[in-house]
Structure 1
């Protein structure tokens, strides 16, 4: 069975509402020309376009695996946008983010996931831990769960810390084979009792053609990197090969997850 092709909508940002001062990326609540509100991630922020690429790939892989993620859209900032902004830091951020950015549909009324309050069933917890080990997401911990409860369901947000190998870029092959020891800090690790049982299902949902489709979503505008002569197609190919190799060697991180669970006391 062929899954539906992934297509991201494009919107134009019409109104900057308020900064969301979380972490160092300074995302914002904004409105677009479709009259919806979005959490806007800026390419002019700390880690630049690489954080947007991570957000895009991590979010769409999660969605492909059947997990709930707010709709992602490409969000364009006009060159005149933000000229009236009084905060110099925000004005500089907006100026540095002219062009194509990324945004997540704003889940109005959502509550931050609290592991003390909400128990996640073992199957769902195992799938989320598997996802984060696969995409090398270092940022779903007790201190920063990056999950929301919305309409009584668990939603995943903020995948900008995935694929951290791309900040150095060299030796990506070694990174693809990593067992991902950071999984020991995952907020859902105690509930992830079925990782081995769901492993084959998760792998089957990520055939080469789907991984190629996801990596082809990366806009060329985000792939002109300072300090490298590598072209957009070659960079996309590295992301694709990283995902293929990591999927093909999923047992590396599945064993690491099981080992980390055994050390929980």
Structure 2
């Protein structure tokens, strides 16, 4: 299995905001010449949303799903000083430092369950992914999936791993299943859940989970409001994901019953 190697780039141009996103992400240009969708640390859910986005994206990639390249993006304070829109100005000001970018898929269209096709294995893998990471935001109202080059691409995992918004009680989530899977946009197409589960278990080992968590920037784990240290948080993410992986059969049954 390939080692995770996350590149770091500098933002050199703010191109345009993406108003359809609740956290007001933006298309930006980086010093490598590529365009990215920038997720801001200064947005509503803060750095925790970036952590969830990163973990969810790299797990999705590990199990064979299409995910835009994730990069760490350095944003300096010059952009807020030249931005006329006050809302965006504040967002830029509070996001100076390390943010998260997804490679911009030019020409991609939002997945529409009424007109878009997806194969059963891909649908089943996405459903299991979202059960593992407790992703509450992949519904028909907000699919957080793209069609690009006739393939399904997974984006926007920032609403997952919601246990980390309450570190005092996070262990209560270790044995919980994910009943909200009943609202998943791909549930009806997920007809090979058992086969997908077997493939995922062969690809997503505890060593890979540990490697993903080890790549979370230290800065994102620092917060005066949280009771845990960065090392304790890393250990908690690993324990949570390992626990979910160990109960994957139960999660698969829950999803199959919901179908």
Same fold judged by TM-score > 0.5? yes
Q: CA deviation at 1:24?
A: 2.2
Deviates most, 77-86 or 213-222: 77-86
Q: State how far apart, in whole Å, the 2-side matches of 1:227 and 1:136 are.
A: 23
Of the three residues 20, 26, 32, the one matched with 1:22 is 20
What stretches of structure 2 of length at least 5 have no aligned partner?
none
Q: State how far apart, in whole Å, the 2-side matches of 1:116 and 1:228 are.
A: 42
- Describe the superposition over 1:37-94 as per-residue Cα deviations: whole angstroms up to 9, x where unpaired: 0000000000000000000000000000000000000000112222110001111100
Q: State how far apart, in whole Å, the 2-side matches of 1:228 and 1:73 are.
A: 25
Q: State how far apart, in whole Å, the 2-side matches of 1:108 and 1:23 are.
A: 17
Q: State how far apart, in whole Å, the 2-side matches of 1:5 and 1:181 are.
A: 33
Query: Does the 8 A contact of 2:15 with 2:27 survive in 1?
Result: yes
Of the three residues 153, 158, 165, the one matched with 2:163 is 165
Aligned-residue Cα RMSD (Å) equals: 1.1
More helix per residue: 2
Where does residue 129 of structure 1 map in the other structure?
Answer: 127
Q: Hey, which bits of structure 1, 4+ residues long, moved more than 3 A?
A: none
SS in 1 for 2:168: coil
Q: Is 1:238 the counterpart of 2:236 in the alignment?
A: yes
- Describe the superposition over 1:95-145 as per-residue Cα deviations: whole angstroms up to 9, x where unpaired: 100000000000001111111112212111111101111111111110111
Q: CA deviation at 1:22?
A: 2.2
Where does residue 150 of structure 1 map in the other structure?
Answer: 148
Aligned residues: 259
SS in 2 for 1:170: helix
Compute the TM-score of the two structures, normalised by the length of structure 1: 0.95
Q: State how far apart, in whole Å, the 1-side matches of 2:161 and 2:20 are.
A: 20
Of the three residues 99, 102, 105, the one matched with 1:101 is 99
Where does residue 10 of structure 1 map in the other structure?
Answer: 8
SS in 2 for 1:14: strand
Q: State how far apart, in whole Å, the 1-side matches of 2:168 and 2:119 are.
A: 38
Compute the TM-score of the two structures, normalised by the length of structure 2: 0.97
